[in-house]
Amino acid sequence: MLDAAVRIFGQRGYMAASMDEIAELAGVSKPLVYLYLNSKDDLFSACIRREARALTEAVRAGVCPGLPADGQLWSGLRAFFTHTARNPDAWRVLHLHARTHGERFAAEVAAMREDIVAFVTQLIAAAARDAHRRPHLPEGEVAGLAEALVGAAESLADWAGATEGVTAKQAAATLMNFAWAGLGDLMAGRPWVAPEDPQADPEQAPVAPSVPAAQAG
Amino acid sequence: MLDAAVRIFGQRGYMAASMDEIAELAGVSKPLVYLYLNSKDDLFSACIRREARALTEAVRAGVCPGLPADGQLWSGLRAFFTHTARNPDAWRVLHLHARTHGERFAAEVAAMREDIVAFVTQLIAAAARDAHRRPHLPEGEVAGLAEALVGAAESLADWAGATEGVTAKQAAATLMNFAWAGLGDLMAGRPWVAPEDPQADPEQAPVAPSVPAAQAG
Amino acid sequence: MLDAAVRIFGQRGYMAASMDEIAELAGVSKPLVYLYLNSKDDLFSACIRREARALTEAVRAGVCPGLPADGQLWSGLRAFFTHTARNPDAWRVLHLHARTHGERFAAEVAAMREDIVAFVTQLIAAAARDAHRRPHLPEGEVAGLAEALVGAAESLADWAGATEGVTAKQAAATLMNFAWAGLGDLMAGRPWVAPEDPQADPEQAPVAPSVPAAQAG
Amino acid sequence: MLDAAVRIFGQRGYMAASMDEIAELAGVSKPLVYLYLNSKDDLFSACIRREARALTEAVRAGVCPGLPADGQLWSGLRAFFTHTARNPDAWRVLHLHARTHGERFAAEVAAMREDIVAFVTQLIAAAARDAHRRPHLPEGEVAGLAEALVGAAESLADWAGATEGVTAKQAAATLMNFAWAGLGDLMAGRPWVAPEDPQADPEQAPVAPSVPAAQAG
DNA sequence: AATGAATGAGCTTTCATTCAT
DNA sequence: GATGAATGAAAGCTCATTCAT
């Protein structure tokens, strides 16, 4: 029954998906759906939880624990891209629709995401330790790098899903090239250095969104 | 009037946004919205077009043409993160909602995106030329790398928008570190190398999504 | 300005006609229409009155007063069919739409109609007198016959308007054949005689519409 | 449920009838109406079909097959007037509103009407044969006469419905007198003869509607 | 345990009608 | 005198949700 829901939600989005359609695809009657899962919100939530768990477990199961950090990352990425490619609707639910509709769902996905980010963060830290040097990476930077890596992975998953003929392995390799070579340099103490910035820098402070004037008609 | 629409669409998404709400926020009556912009679809489309143009122009205006490739990328990224941070609803419309609701809108955003991808691609190629070496980057790989870079930027924009205290400059710096140091290695002929893969490799072929069983109830 | 209104009302009907369309076709702005004619109702009413007057005057002008009764009827019918054929929208307004929408308008048309019925009634009576015989037509019957004749004329006007290649003269001739030959027999004392009716006759009393049961779902 | 629809449609017309009103009169909620009959159009169509069938069947059932032509016509007319008098809203839907709103509905009614016209045509032809004479009626004329008869019947139905104290039997008798006595003469070779027409005859050719000047304000 | 039948609430869209100018 | 600009009110239609069975 959740399968049907994931499929419909993945293809239509939360709002455009109708309970009728889901019930029909599941081959059951609508009241039954309400009996098992109380409401559309709860149904969506259940989908998110199930698929979030499935994705994290797929990644965790794919990581080979004994390897060095890059090998672990490589294996994890391959598992990630494989899973998202095999469950495109689930991936759309998690990455697209859950973030699109309401704080509650976004939070559920964010929890899963932080799981993965934490794992990657620890990988990066471990790699830095392995380098047997003074930590060239400031602590605070690691979080941003992990975010970037995970974000790039997510985008590449979308891209691989939308582009014919891109395998999970290729996507993983592209990302490893893009990321690890760069991380490698960073960890070896060769960061990219910003050029001089002669002008005053208005973006120094956290940017506040400028509220557009409400009266525009 | 479009301002209000962007704000509502950005927060609620296309389907959950109601014309009532948009009109109210704009301070006008609903029929007026229909007088100026013919329908909900057209209104959404107008929002997308306006914001897509605003974003591309902001990036283009932010790039400093005389600099070397990494300097150009750096300045472009800063403009990008600044713009998205200042217009979070616009960014949500473009990156989240437009891709979620229907081919027509997705296509309008895809056009904008390809603009940017093309710009980045050319930057990468230029950087490779500047290295005065034999091209160590296979041609086909550049497209994937540009995708990864743009995707990472998009994800970091989301992240910066959602995380307190991250400035546009910091986001840009993180991404430059993550990407350019890596690209630098790549262009210097030091790609990351995948470890041996002893097992059979089921992901070699393009993955086909396994259709979930329809009968699950 | 009324011309435009008649045209639009004739083609679309009262409800489907929009004041926008009428104003546009008239080449003026909408508030001007409201300045001259206070509301949609009044505009429709004005159309009806103008066209009703035009029709009655056309018929009156077409009748040749010196002729015997059948000659007068013949000339009147030709004028009638000619006018309706030349002003199809006006005819549709009077015969179709005015009777379709609300008591008020129906009453205005009914007044015009009674004008004509009265004229025909008097013609029939005159013809009966001309026959130099005892009146074979009971008084009460004349009204019904006049109704039938006018009704047949109206229907034939619709038919002639909808059928290619039927001239006003042909329509008039068909109706004269149909009606006068019959009336001639009647006035000559040779009415059609109903066959014996052995069963009880439930329609003797004025029929009351059977109210359908309201609860049918 | 259709009963309520026929009643509302008959009184208000297609456009002025609201689904709310129909549902309320039917004693059900609006969505239920949409569940059973998909749209306002379909609902109207269903009304037309039901009432058209009911009317034709009532007429067919009322005709006594063994009688001579005039007797059959007499019985058919009585059934017709009885049915229309008993179902005034249905009659308004068929005769007034269905022809007023759109080709699709007009066509459905036209089909029913042609049924009846064909029946009458055949009756007239049979009567002419029964007269044991050379056919005095030119073939082409029969169509026009049948039209006139049916049209007169329709108009008389309206009239009988609008006039207090007119029974179905009286309406039928009036029409028989009006029509059959006339047809009798025609079939006996005594048509009405048009007087000489000394003037030029502008209506000889099929009349073309004079387009009213659009600019009148 | 399972559903056919039903609905309240809300959506997009339209249109007769009116001011401020 | 004439109108561009604006709106209140209502219509068709949909859907998440619930009883009675």
Residue A73 in any domain: the answer is yes
Residue B154 in any domain: the answer is yes
How far apart (Å, rounded) are the C-alpha atoms in residues B80 and B58? 7
Task: Name the residue range of residue D152's domain.
Answer: 48-191
Structure tokens at B3: 């301002």
Across the range A159-172, mean pLDDT stands at 86
Residue A11 in any domain: the answer is no
Residue A43 in any domain: the answer is no
| CB pairs < 8 Å spanning C and D | 258
Across the range D153-177, mean pLDDT stands at 87
Higher-confidence position of D83 and B148: D83
Confidence of residue B206 (pLDDT cuts 50, 70, 90): very low
pTM of the model: 0.82
Residue B8 in any domain: the answer is no
Residues B135-158: pLDDT tens digits?
Answer: 556 666 777 778 888 888 998 998
Q: Which subunits count as partners of chain B given 3+ CB pairs below 8 Å?
A: A
How far apart (Å, rounded) are the C-alpha atoms in residues B155 and B161? 10
Give the nearest chain B residue to A212 (CA atoms). Answer: B3
In the 4-43 segment of chain D, residues within 7 Å (Cβ) of strand E are: 28-32, 35
Mutate to test the interface with C, among D3, D64, D89, D147 (most CBs of C within 10 A): D147
Q: State whether the beta carbon of C216 lies below 7 angstroms from any atom of strand E.
A: no
Lowest mean pLDDT among B213-217, D28-32, D183-187: B213-217
Across the range D42-53, mean pLDDT stands at 95
Are C148 and D173 contacting, i.e. CB atoms less than 8 angstroms apart?
no
CATH number of the structural domain spanning residue A166: 1.10.357.10
Residue B73 in any domain: the answer is yes
Judge whether residue B58 has pLDDT over 60.
yes
Residue C5 in any domain: the answer is no
Q: Nearest CA to CA, how far is D123 from chain C (Å)?
A: 15
Q: What is the pLDDT of residue B103?
A: 86
CA of D31 to C1' of E9 (A): 12
Are B175 and A148 contacting, i.e. CB atoms less than 8 angstroms apart?
yes
Judge whether residue C114 has pLDDT over 80.
yes
**Interior angle at CA A129, CA A126 and CA A130, nearest 5:** 85
Give the nearest chain A residue to B149 (CA atoms). Answer: A152
Residue D123 in any domain: the answer is yes
Are B153 and B77 contacting, i.e. CB atoms less than 8 angstroms apart?
yes
Q: What is the pLDDT of residue C164?
A: 82
* CB atoms closer than 10 angstroms to residue A56: 18
* CB atoms closer than 10 angstroms to residue B50: 16
Counted domains in chain A: 1
* Three-state secondary structure readout of chain B: CHHHHHHHHHHHCCCCCCHHHHHHHHCCCHHHHHHHCCCHHHHHHHHHHHHHHHHHHHHHHHCCCCCCHHHHHHHHHHHHHHHHHHCHHHHHHHHHHHHHCCHHHHHHHHHHHHHHHHHHHHHHHHHHHHCCCCCCCCHHHHHHHHHHHHHHHHHHHHHHHHCCCCCHHHHHHHHHHHHHHHHHHHHCCCCCCCCCCCCCCCCCCCCCCCCCCCCCC
How far apart (Å, rounded) are the C-alpha atoms in residues B170 and A117? 19
Nearest CA among C77, C65, C91, C99 for reference residue C149: C77
Chains C and D touch (3+ CB pairs under 8 A): yes
Q: What is the pLDDT of residue A67?
A: 84
Q: Which amino acid appears at position D98 of this protein?
A: A
Are A211 and A161 contacting, i.e. CB atoms less than 8 angstroms apart?
no
Residues B27-47: pLDDT tens digits?
Answer: 999 999 999 999 999 999 999
The chain-wide mean pLDDT, for chain B, equals 81
